[in-house]
Amino acid sequence: MSHRLTAPAPGWTTSTDVVVVGSGVAGLTVALNVRKAGLRAMVVTKSMLDDGSTRWAQGGIAAALGEGDTPEQHLQDTLVAGAGLCDEDAVRTLVTEGPDAVRRLIEVGAEFDLDEDGEIVLTREGGHHRRRIAHAGGDATGAEIERALVAAVEADPGLELIEHALVLDLLTDAGGHASGVTLHVMGEGQRDGVGAILARAVVLASGGMGQVFSATTNPAVSTGDGVGLALRAGAEVTDLEFVQFHPTVLFLGADAQGQQPLVSEAVRGEGAHLVDADGVRFMLGQHELAELAPRDIVAKAITRRMLAQDTEHMYLDGRHFGARMWEHRFPTILAACRTHGIDPVTEPIPVAPAAHYASGGIRTDLHGRTTVPGLYACGEVACTGVHGANRLASNSLLEGLVFAERIAADLAGLAEAGRLPARTVNTDAAHAAAPVPLLPAESRGAIQHLMSTGASVIRSAESLSATAKGLAALADPAHPAPPSVETWEATNLHQVATALTAAAALREETRGCHWREDFPDRDDTHWQHHITHPLGD
């Protein structure tokens, strides 16, 4: 049986050909490309059009654009980082189609940093053996990509936008094919409150779920709404246990909550060193790439050093860069640090790992199709198989771009073949879906505390069992909270946290960014496979 969030019946209805949920690089790329194919499109976004995770991406976008680099080398680096769980066909698709996708992004209007000869400046980041990371504005790549895509969207009067809208649940027709979504629009106007968008296809590009943890690099809107919708709709969700913790997030204190400032991998790519309070470079000897090892290795090394020295953070030392390099190469990071009273030009930056990226998500094929007909997913909300057990640095923007183009091409092909008909809503199924009791808004903090305590960088059977019990205790069907944005978000976080914890408890090994202290070794014999939800189906 499918489930749905407890919500009022839709008070208004509209329609389009393709409804896209999310306005980052993935969502806007889908929308722009289906419009080129002559289809109507509507973009639904939770806040403002440019207020998602894409604009916060500092590092860059990885692609084999440089002399001597090849898609095959990019593929090998990605497979190594993914720790045995990448889908090689998906990775090959990413790295072979990636360079041209970046060039098309430039044609849309994105301006990357260039050298004196007008060539794109390429840098290195963790896990890459070549300089293949394209940047914009030094450390403002995501912001530049989002600027260019938003400008293109706003230049298309036929592309409809609904801002300040929280997607609730999937609508389907009598055959189980996606036929739209329900949503709640915050504010006053012709469309406010709960409504419905009817569509021939639905694309989820709603971003991540970092807010399930107390400290994250994700914006406040990243509450796992897309994965929650998919779980309730019966779509397969996989690899949720693989949450990447970025090794170098500005440490603002043990009690800091919500979005924390990221100190990009690119800082280490340019030669900054990780040191402890005594100035010892503890990554030397840990991996051939030292500070540029894949993120899971660096995060674990930092965490081990913190535990061994009974401290709450390590340091990133880039004082040897000098003021000019900080100001021109990393202006965003420099400003963020100085806002919090730290000057990287003259002192090391205190850093600690924080939740950064969900390598798992809604399972898709190479065309972005999920296991529910007519429902597509791309970007961080999706699991294409590219990232495996640990995402390679700067592959996320590229994945969103490449697979968004593939979804749009699939939809265009269906339309051209007359196989994208208008859909109706199966009202009987909508009414039969079991309503999920809502958690009170204050549960959000409790969920984050439980997950950060027992299911973050270091996990064990004991910690995960305690987390699962704590999460179960928060759900009180006898006393559900009334519908509101805050209670819908808390309920999405709770559903995602519960599924993530269950998967982490099942995977009795250490692999990629999943670290079990009670099972410290990688076990290919028993665990070189995926864990898919709903569990037991």
Rounded CA-CA distance 254/446 in Å is 16
Instruction: Answer whether 404's CB lies under 8 Å from 379's CB.
Output: yes
18: its two tokens: 């393709």
Instruction: Answer whether 144's CB lies under 8 Å from 137's CB.
Output: yes
The CA-CA-CA angle for residues 127, 129, 131, to 5°, reads 105
Name the residue with tokens 């990629």.
Answer: 512
Selected catalytic residue, list 295, 305, 391, 516: 295
Q: Is residue 51 classed as helix, strand or coil in its secondary structure?
A: coil
CA dihedral 141, 142, 146, 148 (to 10 degrees): 10
Strands 237-238 and 361-363: antiparallel
**329 closest CA partner among 130, 121, 156:** 121
Element (H, E) at 339: helix 331-339
Please name the residues in contact with 242: beta carbons below 8 A apart, sequence gap of 6 or more. 85, 358, 359, 360, 387, 388, 389, 390, 512, 513, 514
Is 130 tagged catalytic? no
The Cβ-side half-sphere exposure at 95, using a 13 Å CA radius, reads 21
Rounded CA-CA distance 391/27 in Å is 20
Name residue 478's amino acid.
A
Q: What are phi and psi of 223, to 5 degrees?
A: -110, 25
Phi-psi region of 193 (alpha: psi -120 to 50; beta: other; left: phi over 0): left
The CA-CA-CA angle for residues 479, 482, 485, to 5°, reads 130
Name residue 335's amino acid.
A
69: its two tokens: 């680099």
Instruction: Answer whether 59's CB lies under 8 Å from 264's CB.
Output: yes
Name the residue with tokens 């076990």.
Answer: 523
**102 closest CA partner among 156, 72, 60:** 60
CA dihedral 537, 410, 93, 103 (to 10 degrees): -140
Element (H, E) at 357: strand 349-358
The Cβ-side half-sphere exposure at 268, using a 13 Å CA radius, reads 29
Rounded CA-CA distance 377/233 in Å is 13
CA 120 to chain centre: 26
**183 closest CA partner among 32, 11, 26, 28:** 11
The catalytic site residues sit at 295
